[in-house]
Chains A and B, each alone.
Chain A
């Protein structure tokens, strides 16, 4: 899977047209920033085709001094939309045809095996079937090799260099007004927090749609209560803490914490405004992990279920993995185990692994380290350096074997400039 755009020429001007994912918030943000970064690299303007869903309206209000984001007339807009729709349709048909062919070939191989291994079948037929099966297997292997050669989805190298963005003036004014109405002072130092909960995607997560896969994304969930000790520390240091999320979440009522998630007046624009303004965000494995590269917000990623996709691309950026226990033998997995093939084979399979949330103390310690980095007082510890090397080696080894790692892992040998939080190394 890779994110595709089209580039059109109008005389000497080039326009990159992209239709970012309209169903998943994190992918939406990621695909917008990848479009902006690609356009900057190629010296093109950008037109972002909005899908019919109202998701992430605030993200489409962003502008960049480096890349011109087009807001064309309805007629031109329809032209772009048609072009990208046709392109996407053609790609979908191609993908479907390819998948169908592979599927049929795979099944034919299995059927042929029935005859090849049938001792009652004449030798000549068995030989011929073996030949057919061999040719099909070769074709399948070729297709598999081609798939591995496809460009990665998560263009880490492209995202390494931030694309500066801001809300366009009218939207900024509107968002600032909303912020004041929510009690967010215009000059306050902000930190955002987000704990993934079950409500937002209830019934539509991978464990609901593909129950046989074993993957269970509730492993990514966490409890906001465990963030509150860190929030208190931030408040003590003069920050205003903004809790982001959706209305289905557990309400938070804490001095110095503004619960935007459950506020009836919350808007996506206000959320984007907070992300643009905040010093950093403390978030779990959710949309914000990707969104922060659009809003250029440093991230402290807590409760990570695996370190590869969680690895922050930019510094300052820290991550803190969950405690993972193998239910088969009660063994606590080390940070190195979390990048093993054995673990990735059954990633987030809660039948096999028990995911224990980070404790309030761990989150607080990681927050303090993040504050040090933001304030320029942070230095890398030898343990962090060593783990960075370990994860680089492990990711390279996993790359050919794991589709997940190919999608979210190394991009041209680059994983990220972030680091694992010191507190995670201390518990090993």
Chain B
């Protein structure tokens, strides 16, 4: 079987490495097609290494839909749908997510979105419905369809699909039109709640657990029978890992005191915690000045989020004894030694602290629950996101209202309380391995992909008579919309551009006629001269004359208005003074 896996960039290979290896081991061929070359944090290298190691896996670029009126209009349509999903009542408190989604929408369309928002969830749902219908009018991308034809896969997978205005929608549409089964592999725990919408429903959606099934059904309108839970394959290797060194060796490397317990701070991404280092200093200060000696004297290890690490680099942590920042700024977080450091740091820590990050799930696998504290810095990213509730509902986090309460929670953890093992195991069964803690997700997902590819699916017809008619009728709108997202005020599109366009075209017409006449190669020189003369006589001169007359006439009219106003004014004045 040939599997085509379309990814936003090579970094997603990390999430599916085990599955790709398993598929290859089963004798299937996999081609990874990435939309973007991205190597900021070594994203592409993982895929390239995999392709080098496993001959059945290849990697290349995915074509981007050709530029044109429809593709540009499609992007706008998708961005609007992505924003409008946040009008759903469940997102009432999600101000941060809404603002982020709004920023991706071209400015010109934002007043329209604000207007729709006024009508609440019902208005949002109605407009989203219309926009989804418009998506079906948008024609298939020729380049994408050709690419799929040339690859001739038995199954197409896309991930993450929910990026703002994603072009992976075109892959789903083209695959369905060609009769190739297509599925969305949900890449992470937050993908269905805090990114864009699933604008076109694929044949299957592979999710981790029951909670994500509900999200796919209620938030994205995917029919329940198309959603398949397989567990979180991305964490499978965590269940078999062992620490790479002894506790003493680990503490020596990190500059910590091995005789004291370790509190591990797990950093969050820049969206979740944009000013995390500032909070981190307050947090450190609160712990070090805690009345609880065990908390105040504990080792503190800070592990920044890979994408949000630089802000920590400028802090002077030397003033805090037994405090370490690891990996240091500038390190490759995904280098093998740092991956093991991460496991070791969780394994040897007694208490874990975090705001809202997937590393908290990894902590659960290692048998730790996570202490967190509500702070105004994180209002948008804790209560204001839906995926944080998975941690809360799964009983993984110990939430404190302030830093004093938080220090008290840590004190309990450091003394061996908090039922960490039991609570983290329950969470893992709920969220990571819903089929049993000893049931890995990788074989399940691989089997689900193979199963999808072995059942033929009906072809979609994207060119029905109704669709073609609608396409013709909506083309002017698409043309208008496609040209709009260039960050100009709306009145330019309505009041300035159309009249100016008409004016310039009318102005250019005689010159165009003349140029056309001059350009006819079959005409002899004299004919050409004659034609030019005629053009001048019958087109250019009357045009100039006409312009002159209109100008004079309008000047005269203005003059008359002025004179009459003056005369009437004088008469009124005379009447009043008589």
Say how far B514's CB is from chain A's closest CB, in angstroms. Answer: 8
B114 at the A/B interface (Cβ < 8 Å)? no
- Residues of A13-64 contacting chain B, CB below 8 A: none
Interchain CB contact under 8 A, A356 and B278: yes
Interchain CB contact under 8 A, A332 and B504: no
Say how far B575's CB is from chain A's closest CB, in angstroms. Answer: 29
Say how far B372's CB is from chain A's closest CB, in angstroms. Answer: 20
Interchain CB contact under 8 A, A354 and B99: no
- Residues of B78-99 contacting chain A, CB below 8 A: 99
- Measured CA separation A426–B222 after assembly (Å): 61
Interchain CB contact under 8 A, A122 and B314: no
Neighbouring A residues of B512 by C-beta, 8 Å: 122
Q: Which residue of B lies closest to A107 (CB)?
A: B492
Interchain CB contact under 8 A, B103 and A212: yes
- Residues of B496-554 contacting chain A, CB below 8 A: 496-497, 500, 504, 507-508, 511-512, 515
B297 at the A/B interface (Cβ < 8 Å)? no
Interchain CB contact under 8 A, A121 and B103: no
Neighbouring A residues of B275 by C-beta, 8 Å: 350, 354-355
With A107-B492, A111-B492 already in contact, the answer to whether A332 and B314 are too (CB < 8 A) is: yes
A331 at the A/B interface (Cβ < 8 Å)? yes
Interchain CB contact under 8 A, A331 and B282: no
- Measured CA separation A357–B270 after assembly (Å): 20
Contact of A111 among B281, B309, B310, B500 (CB under 8 A): B500
Neighbouring B residues of A326 by C-beta, 8 Å: 310, 314
With A122-B515, A326-B314, A327-B311 already in contact, the answer to whether A350 and B281 are too (CB < 8 A) is: no
- Measured CA separation A398–B119 after assembly (Å): 47
B446 at the A/B interface (Cβ < 8 Å)? no
- Measured CA separation A328–B500 after assembly (Å): 44
Q: Which residue of B lies closest to A326 (CB)?
A: B314
Interface of B is mostly: helix
Say how far B289's CB is from chain A's closest CB, in angstroms. Answer: 10
A-B CB contacts (within 8 Å), total count? 71
Neighbouring A residues of B309 by C-beta, 8 Å: 330
A325 at the A/B interface (Cβ < 8 Å)? yes
Interchain CB contact under 8 A, B489 and A327: no
Contact of A125 among B274, B497, B511 (CB under 8 A): B511
Neighbouring A residues of B488 by C-beta, 8 Å: 107, 110
Interchain CB contact under 8 A, A330 and B278: no
Neighbouring B residues of A211 by C-beta, 8 Å: 99, 103
Interchain CB contact under 8 A, A331 and B508: no
Say how far A108's CB is from chain B's closest CB, in angstroms. Answer: 7
Digitize B256-299: 1 where CB-to-A-CB distance is under 8 Å, 0 elsewhere.
00000000000000100011011001100000000000000000
With A330-B313, A330-B329 already in contact, the answer to whether A108 and B496 are too (CB < 8 A) is: yes
Interchain CB contact under 8 A, B311 and A325: yes
A198 at the A/B interface (Cβ < 8 Å)? yes
B312 at the A/B interface (Cβ < 8 Å)? yes
Interchain CB contact under 8 A, B507 and A125: yes
Interchain CB contact under 8 A, A107 and B489: yes
- Measured CA separation A325–B515 after assembly (Å): 61
B376 at the A/B interface (Cβ < 8 Å)? yes
Neighbouring B residues of A108 by C-beta, 8 Å: 496
Interchain CB contact under 8 A, A354 and B277: yes
- Measured CA separation A103–B270 after assembly (Å): 36
- Measured CA separation A325–B278 after assembly (Å): 10
Q: Which residue of B lies closest to A219 (CB)?
A: B275
Contact of A330 among B274, B282, B311, B507 (CB under 8 A): B311
Digitize B299-339: 1 where CB-to-A-CB distance is under 8 Å, 0 elsewhere.
00000000001111111000000000000010000000000
Interchain CB contact under 8 A, A122 and B511: yes
A153 at the A/B interface (Cβ < 8 Å)? no
Say how far B111's CB is from chain A's closest CB, in angstroms. Answer: 14
- Measured CA separation A66–B489 after assembly (Å): 51
- Measured CA separation A351–B103 after assembly (Å): 14
Contact of B314 among A103, A223, A325, A357 (CB under 8 A): A325
Contact of A121 among B99, B107, B282, B508 (CB under 8 A): B508
Digitize B473-496: 1 where CB-to-A-CB distance is under 8 Å, 0 elsewhere.
000000000000000110010001
Say how far A121's CB is from chain B's closest CB, in angstroms. Answer: 6
Neighbouring A residues of B511 by C-beta, 8 Å: 122, 124-125
- Measured CA separation A198–B512 after assembly (Å): 62
Digitize A113-136: 1 where CB-to-B-CB distance is under 8 Å, 0 elsewhere.
001000001101100010000000
Neighbouring B residues of A129 by C-beta, 8 Å: 504
- Residues of B193-209 contacting chain A, CB below 8 A: none
A342 at the A/B interface (Cβ < 8 Å)? no
Q: Which residue of B lies closest to A325 (CB)?
A: B314
With A327-B310, A330-B312 already in contact, the answer to whether A125 and B278 are too (CB < 8 A) is: no
- Measured CA separation A326–B497 after assembly (Å): 41
Say how far B337's CB is from chain A's closest CB, in angstroms. Answer: 21
Interchain CB contact under 8 A, B504 and A331: no
- Measured CA separation A383–B355 after assembly (Å): 41
Interchain CB contact under 8 A, B274 and A122: no
- Measured CA separation A325–B315 after assembly (Å): 8
- Listed by A's residue number, 25 A-B pairs whose Cβ atoms lie within 8 Å are A103-B489, A107-B488, A107-B489, A107-B492, A107-B496, A108-B496, A122-B511, A122-B512, A122-B515, A125-B508, A211-B99, A325-B277, A325-B311, A328-B310, A330-B310, A330-B312, A330-B314, A350-B274, A351-B274, A354-B275, A354-B277, A354-B314, A355-B275, A356-B281, A356-B315
A-B interface, 6 closest residue pairs, ranked by CB to CB distance from nearest: A330-B313, A325-B314, A122-B511, A330-B310, A332-B314, A327-B311
A interface residues, Cβ below 8 angstroms from B: 103-104, 107-108, 110-111, 115, 121-122, 124-125, 129, 198, 211-212, 223, 323, 325-332, 350-351, 354-357
Q: Knowing that A330-B312, A332-B314 are A-B contacts, what are 15 other residue pairs whose CB atoms are under 8 Å apart, sorted by A's residue number?
A: A104-B496, A107-B496, A121-B504, A125-B504, A211-B103, A325-B311, A326-B310, A330-B309, A330-B311, A330-B313, A330-B329, A354-B277, A355-B275, A355-B278, A356-B278
